[in-house]
Structure 1
Amino acid sequence: MQLRGKQKRYLRAQANHLSPIFSVGKNGLTQAWLDQLDGALDRRELIKVSLQQNTDTTVEETAQFIESNTDIQVVQKIGRVLLLFKESANEKQRDLSTKVDKI
């Protein structure tokens, strides 16, 4: 699903109170990290990822790596934090994505 402007605005409002639960550190971007990220998004649908000070990758490189290797969408980039969204594969956990579809 490609997100429209109003949908992104709604997701940003929902993520306002969230804290980053994933981070990119000195080990950089690996397939194992990406698999864990994908699993967390299946349960939550909306998460924040922060880039630590000691990482060698930039926010743009991280966003490009995530979007090119998965169906995860980058909703917003704020400084060293990425806001990510993915519709859950489990229908019972699609609370947020059903609201986004209605917008």
Structure 2
Amino acid sequence: MPLTNERKKQYRSIGHTLNPVVTIAGKGLTEAVLEEVNRALEDHELIKVKLAIVDRDLRKQVVEQLCQQSRAESVQEIGKVVLLYRAAQKPNPRLSNILR
């Protein structure tokens, strides 16, 4: 279910204070990176991912691929940082960036 504009606005304000928890660099979207993104999304629901990729088109493709493979939704992209959201199956109020 796609996020509404109101919900995206709310998540962007929460995401403003977050630091990137995963960095995707020269090797691109590897299996280990995808596992870490999935773990972080399950724990925190809303995360920032830094893309250390110079080419803008390649960065855009990696974001699309990341969203598809992790079943997450891109809330915001600014430069080399993307804010991702995926609802946790069993949200932990102590870890979730949404429930805090």
Alignment TM class, shorter chain as reference:
0.7 to 0.9
Aligned-pair distance for 1:4?
Answer: 0.6
Gaps of 5+ in 2: none
Aligned-pair distance for 1:2?
Answer: 1.4
Once the two structures are aligned, what percentage of the paired residues are identical?
Answer: 27
CA-based RMSD of the aligned residues comes to: 2.4
Q: TM-score, normalised by structure 2?
A: 0.83
Q: TM-score, normalised by structure 1?
A: 0.81
Counterpart amino acid of residue 98 in structure 2: L
CA distance in 2, matches of 1:53, 1:28: 8
Q: Secondary structure at the match of 1:88?
A: coil
CA distance in 2, matches of 1:18, 1:76: 13
Written as runs of structure 1 = structure 2, the 5 A alignment for 1:1-103 is 1-52=1-52, 58-93=58-93, 96=98
* Higher normalized helix content (fraction of residues): 1
